[in-house]
Chain A
Amino acid sequence: MVRNANAAAKQPKNQLTRRSGWSSFINSENAAGYIFLAPWLIGFLVFTAYPIFASLYYSFTNLNPLKGLGKETFVGFQNYINMFTTDSVYYTALRVTFVYALVSVPLRLIFALFIAMLLNRKSKASGVYRTIYYLPSIVGGSVAVAVMWRSLWIQEGTINAVLQSIGIQCEWGWLTQPSTALMCLIILAVWQFGSSMLIFLAGLKNIPAEYYEAATVDGAGPFRKFFSITIPMLTPVIFFNLINQLILGFTAFTQAYITTRGGPMNETMFYALHLYRQGFEYNKMGYASAMAWILLIIIGIMTAIIFKSSNSWVYYESKGE
C-alpha cells in the first residue's frame, strides 16, 4: 500500500517534467514484471507467433526457398486444391498417420496405465523402477533410439536373431516390408510410454484409499475394483493423456525420418514427413505451409470431438456443488 501511494505521488510529477510514455512505463508497478517476461515474450512472438501467421500467409503463395523470401506470388487456394486433387501420396500420408495415431495412442495409454499400476505398489525399489521405465521416454524422440530401432527390426537384426536362437527361422524384414513397417513404428511409440505413465501414477496416488477399503469390505475383487473405482476416478487423467498423446501421434516425424524415410512404398510416410519433403526436398514451401494448416484443422477437430464426448465419460469428483 505504501509503495502504491508512492507511485501515485510520483505519477503527476513525471507527467509534468517529461510526458514520454517510456518514463511513465519504466516507473510503473508492472515494469519489472514485463521486463522479466520479455525474454519469453519476445521468444514467443518471434519463434512461435510470427512463424504461425507467416505460414498462414505462405500457404496461399508459391514460396520457393531457392528464389528467396519476398519473391513469392499469391496463388489463392491452389495449394489446398492440389493437396486433395493431384498429390498422389497425400491420401497415403493421411491414412498412415491416422492408423499410427489411432492405434498407437490407445495401446500406449493402456500400457502406461498397466505399468503405473505395477509401480503404484508400496516398495522401496519403486523409485528405481520408475526411473528405469521413464528412460525410454527421455531418449524417446532422439535419433539414437530411431537408429537402434532400425537395427532391431531389419532382416538381420536383433529380433530375428533372438527368434533364431529359440528355434524360429525368420527371414522377414520387419521394417523393410510394406505390410509390417508401420507396426514397428507403432511398437516404438508404445514403448515410449514414460510420460503418460508418470501422469497416471500421480493420478493413482490421488485416489483415496478409503474407496478401496470400502470395496474390499463389500467383497469386491481386484477386477471389480479396477473397473468401478480406478477407471472412473482416473478419467480426468485419461482425458488429459489422450489429448496430449493424440497430438503427438499426429505430428510424429523423427521415428519415420530416421528409420524408414517414409518407405517402403510410402507405408510409413507420416503426414509431417510428407510435409517436410514437400517443403525442404521439393522446395514447395507454400504447399508445405498449406499442409501444416490442414493438419492443424484435423487435430483441432479430433480434439474437439474428444472434448465434446468428455461430458459423457469423464468424471470429476468435485462438480462444483
Chain B
Amino acid sequence: MKKTSLVLCLLLVLMTVLSACTDGSGTSSTGSTASGTSSTQASSEDTTRPITLGISWWGGSTRHEYTNKILDLYKAKNTNVTINAEYVSWDDYWSSMNTKAASNTLPSVMQQDYAKIGQFIDNGTIVDMNAQVDNKNLDLSDIKGDAFYGGKIDGKLYGISTGVNAFCYLYDATALKDAGVTLPSEKFTWDEFNTISKDMMSKAKLATVPMINTDPKFFVEMYVRNQGKHMYSADGKTFGFDKALLVEAFQKQEDLSKSGNALSPDIVNAATQDKDLLAEKKTWGEPLWSNQVINVMKLANDETRDFQLTMMPGTDNGGIYLKPSMLWSITRDCPETDRNAAARLISFILNDIEANKLAGADRGVTIMKKVNEALVKEADPNNKKVYDYIDVVGKYASEIDPPEPVAGSEITKEIKDQFDAIVFGKKTAQQAADDCWKNSEQIFATNAG
C-alpha cells in the first residue's frame, strides 16, 4: 500500500515540495542579493549594481536560438545584468509556470499568452507596468497606436504585445493554379471555400483539412464574432451567443466532413509541428496563425511553391481580429527593486532594431513604427507576405474580445472534444452542439463558485 500512495502522489509531490522549500521566506530568491542597495527606485539608472533577471518563453528551437542571441546583445550592452533564461515547449511551459507561481519563484519577465493572461491577472500573478512606462524604463513612445498594447485591461498594462498576428488561411497558390482553380479573393467567402475544396479534390486529389483542428474554439469564436456576437458574456460566466450559432458553426465542419473532400482525420491527427500537412503536400491549404506561416514555408523548403495568405472563410464582417501574438509581462515575484531593470529588458527586445532583425515576425508583426520601417525594408518575400496580410486584416478586423475567463481553457477543451466527434463522424452538428452546450453550462457553473 505504501507503494500505491507513493505512485499516486508523484504528480502532486513536485508542487508541494516547492512549497516546502519556500514556506519560510515567502519570496523568491531570484535577484534578492541585489535588493536593498538601490535607494531610489523610481528614477533608477542603476547600470552598475549587479542585477539578476529571469526570463521565460515557450517555442521551438528557432525561437530559442534567436532569443538567446537577443539576450546576448543585451548583456553585451549591460554588463551588470545577468539573465537566467528558461525556455520550453508550449505544453511544458504552462505546467512549469503554474508550479513556479504556486511556490512564488516565477522569473521576473515571462512570455504570456492572450488566452492565459486573464487567469494570471485575476490571481495577481503579473503586475501593472504603467509605473515603468511613466518613468521611461519601458519605452513605448514609438508604438503604432492605442490598439497595439495588447495587454491593457481597465487602464492597467499587464502585458505588452510582442507583435500582432491574425488567423489566416495559408494556401498553395501553385497547386491551385496547376489544377486550374480560381484563387480565393481577399475576403475568402464560404462559397469560394466550398468551390475550391470540391475542385481541388476532383482535379488535384488534394483534400481539405478541418476548420482549425488544433483549436476549433478559434473557429467558433470567429464565426460568432462575424455575426456581431462575442465568445463569452461580459462577466465571463456564460457564452456570449446563442446555441443556434454554435450549431451553425459546427454545421460548417459537418458539411465539410460529409462532402467527401475532407482529409482523413487519421492523417490530420498524425501531424506535428515538424510534419506539417501543407508543407508535405497532403492538402492545398490550412488555417494558421500568421506568425506560424514562416515555419511552414521553411518546412516545405521549395522555392517553386507560391504560398499565399488569405483571411479565414467568412470572417470579413469583423469576425477576424488582430491579436497580440504573445505578451511580455513582469511577474509579482520580480522584486520591486528590479522591476525597472526588467522593464528595460522588455523595452530593448521591443525597440532595438538589431534584436528585431533577429526575431523577424516570429513573435508577430512588431508594434513599433521605426522597427517596422526597418524590417519591411529588408524583409524577404515570405516575411513580406505576412506584413502585407496584417495590413489586409486591418481593413476587416474588429476589436479583440477581452481575455479568456477562468472557465476558458476547459471550454476550449470541451469544444475540441465535440468538434472531434464531428470530424470522426460520431455526432451530427446538432448533437455535438447540444452536448457542448450542456457540458459547458456545467463548466461555467463549477468555475463560478
Judged by a CB distance under 8 angstroms, whether B314 is at the interface is no
Q: In the complex, how many angstroms separate the beta carbon of B133 from the nearest chain A beta carbon?
A: 25
Q: What are the residues of chain B within 8 A of A65 when measuring CB–CB?
A: 15, 98-99, 101-102
Q: Are A173 and B101 in contact (CB under 8 A)?
A: no
A155-B270 contact, Cβ under 8 Å, with A178-B426, A266-B417: yes
A279-B1 contact, Cβ under 8 Å, with A155-B266, A173-B267: no
Question: Given A52, A264, A281, which contacts B265 in the complex, CB threshold below 8 Å?
Answer: A264
Question: Given A68, A292, A300, which contacts B9 in the complex, CB threshold below 8 Å?
Answer: A292
**In the complex, A75 Cα to B98 Cα: how many Å?**
21
Which one of A132-140, A212-220, A229-237, A282-290 is at the B interface? Answer: A282-290
Q: Are B270 and A173 in contact (CB under 8 A)?
A: yes
Q: Are B265 and A176 in contact (CB under 8 A)?
A: yes
Q: Are A51 and B270 in contact (CB under 8 A)?
A: no
**In the complex, A94 Cα to B421 Cα: how many Å?**
20
Judged by a CB distance under 8 angstroms, whether B409 is at the interface is yes
**In the complex, A276 Cα to B13 Cα: how many Å?**
12
Q: How many interface residues does B have (CB within 8 Å)?
A: 52
**In the complex, A90 Cα to B409 Cα: how many Å?**
17
Q: Are B94 and A280 in contact (CB under 8 A)?
A: yes
Add 14 more A-B contacts to A66-B101, A292-B9 (CB < 8 A): A69-B19, A82-B446, A88-B442, A155-B264, A173-B270, A177-B265, A251-B7, A280-B99, A281-B409, A282-B409, A282-B410, A285-B12, A300-B1, A300-B4
**In the complex, A253 Cα to B101 Cα: how many Å?**
24
Q: Are A272 and B11 in contact (CB under 8 A)?
A: yes
Q: Are B266 and A51 in contact (CB under 8 A)?
A: no
Q: Are A66 and B123 in contact (CB under 8 A)?
A: yes
Q: What are the residues of chain B within 8 A of A55 when measuring CB–CB?
A: 9, 12, 16
Q: Are A51 and B13 in contact (CB under 8 A)?
A: yes
Q: What are the residues of chain B within 8 A of A171 when measuring CB–CB?
A: 264, 266
Judged by a CB distance under 8 angstroms, whether A319 is at the interface is no
Q: Are A289 and B12 in contact (CB under 8 A)?
A: yes
Q: What are the residues of chain A within 8 A of B16 when measuring CB–CB?
A: 50-51, 54-55
**In the complex, A87 Cα to B443 Cα: how many Å?**
8
**In the complex, A89 Cα to B439 Cα: how many Å?**
9
**In the complex, A73 Cα to B406 Cα: how many Å?**
17
Cβ proximity bits A18-59 to B, threshold 8 Å, 1 near / 0 not = 000000000000000000000000000011101110110010
Nearest 10 Cβ contacts at the A-B interface? A173-B266, A65-B102, A66-B123, A176-B269, A155-B266, A86-B442, A154-B270, A280-B95, A51-B16, A88-B439
From residue 250 to 268 of chain A, which have CB atoms closer than 8 A to chain B?
Answer: 251, 253, 263-266
> Binding site of B, secondary structure by majority: helix, strand, loop or mixed?
helix
A68-B101 contact, Cβ under 8 Å, with A52-B5, A265-B421: yes
Write 13 A-B pairs (CB below 8 A) sorted by A numbering: A48-B13, A51-B17, A66-B125, A154-B270, A251-B7, A253-B11, A265-B421, A280-B99, A288-B11, A292-B11, A296-B4, A303-B1, A303-B4
Question: Given B9, B11, B99, which contacts A276 in the complex, CB threshold below 8 Å?
Answer: B11
Q: Are A78 and B449 in contact (CB under 8 A)?
A: yes
Q: What are the residues of chain A within 8 A of B23 when measuring CB–CB?
A: 69
Judged by a CB distance under 8 angstroms, whether A64 is at the interface is yes
Judged by a CB distance under 8 angstroms, whether A67 is at the interface is yes
Judged by a CB distance under 8 angstroms, whether B8 is at the interface is yes
**In the complex, A295 Cα to B267 Cα: how many Å?**
35
**In the complex, A281 Cα to B442 Cα: how many Å?**
18
Q: In the complex, how many angstroms separate the beta carbon of B284 from the nearest chain A beta carbon?
A: 19
A47-B17 contact, Cβ under 8 Å, with A155-B264, A177-B266: yes
**In the complex, A276 Cα to B11 Cα: how many Å?**
7
Cβ proximity bits B38-74 to A, threshold 8 Å, 1 near / 0 not = 0000000000000000000000000000000000000
**In the complex, A101 Cα to B13 Cα: how many Å?**
24
Q: What are the residues of chain B within 8 A of A251 when measuring CB–CB?
A: 7-8
Q: What are the residues of chain A within 8 A of B124 when measuring CB–CB?
A: 67
Count the A-B residue pairs with Cβ separation under 8 angstroms: how many? Answer: 147
Which residues of B line the A interface, CB within 8 A? 1, 3-9, 11-13, 15-17, 19-20, 23, 94-95, 98-99, 101-104, 119-120, 122-125, 264-267, 269-270, 409-410, 413-414, 417, 420-421, 424, 426, 439, 442-443, 445-446, 449
**In the complex, A311 Cα to B295 Cα: how many Å?**
63
Q: Are A156 and B98 in contact (CB under 8 A)?
A: no
**In the complex, A68 Cα to B19 Cα: how many Å?**
9
Q: Are A156 and B120 in contact (CB under 8 A)?
A: no
Q: What are the residues of chain A within 8 A of B264 when measuring CB–CB?
A: 155, 171, 173
Q: Which residue of chain B has its CB nearest to the CB of A285?
A: B15
Q: Are A279 and B12 in contact (CB under 8 A)?
A: yes
Q: Which residue of chain B has its CB nearest to the CB of A69?
A: B19
**In the complex, A82 Cα to B447 Cα: how many Å?**
11
A264-B424 contact, Cβ under 8 Å, with A69-B102, A171-B266, A282-B410: yes
Judged by a CB distance under 8 angstroms, whether A299 is at the interface is yes
A172-B266 contact, Cβ under 8 Å, with A78-B449, A283-B119, A296-B4: yes
Question: Given A47, A78, A156, A299, which contacts B13 in the complex, CB threshold below 8 Å?
Answer: A47
From residue 219 to 253 of chain A, which have CB atoms closer than 8 A to chain B?
Answer: 244, 247-248, 251, 253
Q: Which residue of chain B has its CB nearest to the CB of A265?
A: B420
Q: What are the residues of chain A within 8 A of B445 when measuring CB–CB?
A: 86
Judged by a CB distance under 8 angstroms, whether A115 is at the interface is no
Q: In the complex, how many angstroms separate the beta carbon of A181 from the nearest chain B beta carbon?
A: 10
Question: Given A176, A244, A283, A295, which contacts B8 in the complex, CB threshold below 8 Å?
Answer: A295
Q: What are the residues of chain B within 8 A of A154 when measuring CB–CB?
A: 266, 270
Q: What are the residues of chain B within 8 A of A68 when measuring CB–CB?
A: 101-104, 123
Judged by a CB distance under 8 angstroms, whether A275 is at the interface is yes
Q: What are the residues of chain A within 8 A of B267 when measuring CB–CB?
A: 155-156, 173
**In the complex, A263 Cα to B420 Cα: how many Å?**
9
Q: What are the residues of chain B within 8 A of A253 when measuring CB–CB?
A: 11
Q: Are B4 and A46 in contact (CB under 8 A)?
A: no
**In the complex, A75 Cα to B449 Cα: how many Å?**
10
**In the complex, A253 Cα to B8 Cα: how many Å?**
11
Question: Given B120, B414, B421, which contacts A66 in the complex, CB threshold below 8 Å?
Answer: B120
Q: In the complex, how many angstroms separate the beta carbon of A53 from the nearest chain B beta carbon?
A: 10
Q: In the complex, how many angstroms separate the beta carbon of B210 from the nearest chain A beta carbon?
A: 12
Q: Are A64 and B3 in contact (CB under 8 A)?
A: no
**In the complex, A295 Cα to B7 Cα: how many Å?**
11
